[in-house]
Amino acid sequence: MVKSHQEILALLPYTKPFLFVDEIIEIDENGVKGSFTFHEDLDFYKGHFKDFPVTPGVILTETMAQIGLACLGIFLLGDEVENLTIAMTSTNIEFLKPVYPAEKVVVISEKKYFRFNKLKCEVRMENEAGEIVCKGEIAGMLIVKNNG
């Protein structure tokens, strides 16, 4: 079974500049908590918005999916994670506060169910002040490709 936080991070199917996970703070069969800092030099800040950069909602959703769905899914699959593909199947996210460049966020995800390799989670993102910036549900399929 995959236990190490570093092992889970190494198994994520993302790399920079599209990796939005800095660390896993805690993880178990019921959920995960992780963090990411949105560095000021990220490309999307150059055009979103002109002279007033704000993190796009789609990037906030992706960050919640990478921490709350992908990391948790890798943990839940245990040793079955080789050749893993993750496909988001649905989202329902409410955006409450903006996230600016240089902000660190924490994502907290609670498993609603995991069956037939479909994972659905209740997810929220908090800023450093502990305020919820967005929240909702994310679901996805964890597909293990055969080598044969």
- By annotation, the residues acting in catalysis are 48
Q: What is residue 68's DSSP assignment?
A: I
Six-digit token string for 112? 């609603």
Work out the number of other CB atoms within 10 angstroms of the CB of residue 37.
14
Q: For residues 88-127, b (16+ Cβ closer than 10 Å) or e, as one string?
A: eeebebeeeeebeeebebbbbbebeebeeeebbbebbbbb
Query: Residue 5, by phi and psi: left (phi above 0), alpha (psi -120 to 50) or beta?
Result: alpha
Compute φ and ψ for 106, nearest 5 degrees.
Answer: -120, 130
Q: How far apart are CA 127 and CA 115, in angstroms?
A: 31
